[in-house]
A and B are shown apart, each in its own frame.
Chain A
Amino acid sequence: MSDAKTLITETVKAHDVVLYMKGTKSMPQCGFSSRVAGVLNYMGVDYTDVNVLSDADLRQGIKDYSDWPTIPQLYVKGEFVGGCDIITEMTLSGELDTLFEESGVTYDKEAADKIRAANG
């Protein structure tokens, strides 16, 4: 197992919600990363952000780990949930709420409803 894969496995197991992204949650450097971080920030989710731009091995490693070609990538309880399009769809359909509830992840339901109301 490569160092990157070991590090990713440890990270996604150690934290309930992890977002691999370009940039950081407070300063995203790509529109897609920004959208997912924005949703999580707005919903008040406590998550760990990992900036793939800071490490080339990690940037490729996360794609190999999930067999998924793009970033951002969201992990909940060690499981890959999806990229920007899937997270957007799941937010609007309420599936993300369900996933958080089933996973015991705290989030602001009212904020999630506001996102849906504004994008319905």
Chain B
Amino acid sequence: MTIQASDIEAMIRDSFPNAKIDVQGDDGQHFSAMVEDDSFRGMNRVQQQRAVYAALKGKMDGPAGELHALALTTRAP
């Protein structure tokens, strides 16, 4: 099972419609993503990244997860 950068961006976009999102990586398993969104204001990094992981709906989970690695950077504008 592989996943495309555009799939990741679409999933994040669903939860953060107005965010600035940049997803890099094309080997189907290892990606990096930067997400900048207003809703991150007042949240620490753990809270911000938890929100992004939640948007990915379990794609990161377990040995069966399609996404092995997502290097995540989050920030408020």
Contacts and interface: CB of A to CB of B under 8 A. Distances in A.
Interface residues of A, number: 16
Interface of B: 45-46, 49-50, 53, 58, 60-62, 65, 69, 71-73
B26 to A, nearest CB: 18
Interface of A: 32, 60, 63, 67-70, 80-86, 89-90
Contacts, number: 30
15 contacts: A32-B69, A63-B61, A68-B46, A68-B50, A69-B53, A69-B60, A69-B61, A70-B60, A80-B46, A82-B46, A82-B49, A84-B71, A85-B71, A86-B45, A86-B46
B46 A89 contact: no
A85 B48 CA distance: 12
